[in-house]
Structures are given as C-alpha cells and as structure tokens.
C-alpha cells in the first residue's frame, strides 16, 4: 500500500499517484483534501479514473 501527504493544492500528479491503488484495492484510491483546493484538471482526472477525493475545510468534517 502506498501512502503520501503533501501541502498545497491537489494536482493531476497526485491523482495519478493515487490511481495506482485501483489495481490493488479500489477503496484505497482515495485522496483526503483538508483545507486545500483541488485543481480542475485533477478533479476531471479523478472523476475519469474513479479516484475518490474527499474535501473539507475542517478536518473533522472528513468523517461526515
């Protein structure tokens, strides 16, 4: 399993990195975006590939 973290907006490269997990376990192809923006290009790619992107301004809202 691959795990990573970054500071700043979610970019296409982040979605590509997460998409590797689609081959192993689909539910692991997930990005948790806490108080950051997701670029339009990254959002479109995640929709296309099936990578889940959870966004929230407050980290506790990611559980909702």
Model confidence pLDDT, tens digit, residues 15-63: 999 999 999 999 999 999 999 999 999 999 999 999 999 998 887 776 6
Angstrom distance (rounded) from CA 17 to CA 13: 6
* 47 C-beta neighbours (distance < 10 Å), count: 11
Decide: 22 and 29 in contact? Cβ < 8 Å. Answer: yes
pTM score above 0.85: no
Burial degree of 11 (CB within 10 A; 0-12, 13-18, 19+) = middle
Angstrom distance (rounded) from CA 11 to CA 1: 21
In the numeric block, which tokens belong to residue 6? 């970054």
Task: Determine the topology of domain 12-63 in CATH.
Answer: Rossmann fold (3.40.50)
């Amino acid at each position: 399993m691959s795990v990573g973290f970054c500071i700043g907006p979610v970019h296409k490269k982040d979605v590509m990195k997460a998409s590797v997990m689609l081959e192993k376990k689909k539910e692991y192809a997930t990005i948790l975006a806490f108080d950051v923006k997701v670029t339009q290009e990254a959002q479109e790619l995640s929709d296309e590939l099936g990578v889940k992107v959870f966004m929230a301004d407050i980290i506790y809202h990611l559980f909702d």
